[in-house]
Amino acid sequence: MSNTKTFVYINRKAPYGTVYALESLEVVLIGAAFEQNVKLIFMDDGVFQLTRGQDPEGIGMKNFSKTYAALGDYDINQIYIDQQSLDDRGLTIDDLQALVYEDEDDDWNEKSSIHLVNREQLSDIIESADVLLNF
Amino acid sequence: MPLDVNGTTYETDEEGYLANLSDWAPDVATALAGSDGAELEDGHWEVINFLREYYEEYQIAPAVRVLTKAIGKRLGKDKGNSKYLYELFPYGPAKQACKYAGLPKPTGCV
């Protein structure tokens, strides 16, 4: 396992208006082929990336929010949401889409990939990174 | 290089992928395969239909590893392996099947 590194992706920006959110998602999906230990953090305006019911058709963008639901298929199931960022924006976890994966070690039971974390836990996750990518 | 199907012309990119997702129809798939000298049988259609449903749900074409696993789950272990999928789509299951399914070329893989 010595070739496995922990990759932490921090997503901080709103989904549309800049290309950061989509680029981050694409890097995550392509990088998944390398079977590393991947953790995603959504904080600041990045929490809006996971909100339910997005419809960007009016601004001529593809609704890539649907793609987050595929992360479980790519074995990306450590997704951390900053509670403080939700609070600051008047959002709750129910405003975000549910993301799940099937646990291979537990008879393929469907489990939630999403973990709500406080700032202290967030520091620990960032501390755990061998590679830190900030979008 | 445009593709002619029953008198209708469809726009494609330089590698023969459909320019507009919404142009797709089964006879367009048959024509796309035909331009590669391939003939589509039931096994091909299972994968093509799966890909179109996957894209509709997630807005991406799955990586080949994800495709293989998902096909195995849906259609059985005897089909969820690279050998079977490469026999159907010798140019690479994701790449070739996505082309016939009218999806964009998958990013960075076979």
- Rounded to two decimals, what is the model's pTM? 0.88
CA dist B11 and B102 (Å) reads 11
Residue B106 lies in a domain: no
Residue B110: what pLDDT? 42
Residue of A29, A65, A97 to mutate, interface with B, max B Cβ within 10 Å:
A29
Q: Between vectors from CA A7 to CA A79 and to CA A109, what angle results, nearest 5°? A: 40
For residues B31 and B64, membership in a common domain is answered with: no
- Of A30 and A68, which is predicted with more confidence? A68
pLDDT band for A119, please (50, 70, 90 cuts).
very high
B7: containing domain: 3-35
* Below-50 pLDDT ranges, chain B: 109-110
Residue of B20, B54, B57, B60 to mutate, interface with A, max A Cβ within 10 Å:
B60
Residue A1 lies in a domain: no
Q: Which residues neighbour B108 within 8 Å (Cβ) at sequence distance 6 or greater?
A: A30, A33
Q: Which residues neighbour B77 within 8 Å (Cβ) at sequence distance 6 or greater?
A: none
Indicate the DSSP class of residue B18: B
Cβ within 8 Å, pair A62-B69: no
A33 touches chain B (CB under 8 A): yes
Residue B105 lies in a domain: no
Average of pLDDT values for A57-77? 94
Element (H, E) at B32: helix B26-35
Give the ipTM: 0.85
For residues B50 and B25, membership in a common domain is answered with: no
- Of A68 and B35, which is predicted with more confidence? A68
Residue A3: what pLDDT? 83
> Chain B residues with CB inside 8 Å of A66's CB?
57-59
Distance between B59 CA and the closest CA of chain A, angstroms = 6
For residues B60 and B24, membership in a common domain is answered with: no
Residue B107 lies in a domain: no
A-to-B residue pairs, Cβ atoms closer than 8 angstroms: 32
Q: How many domains does chain A have?
A: 1
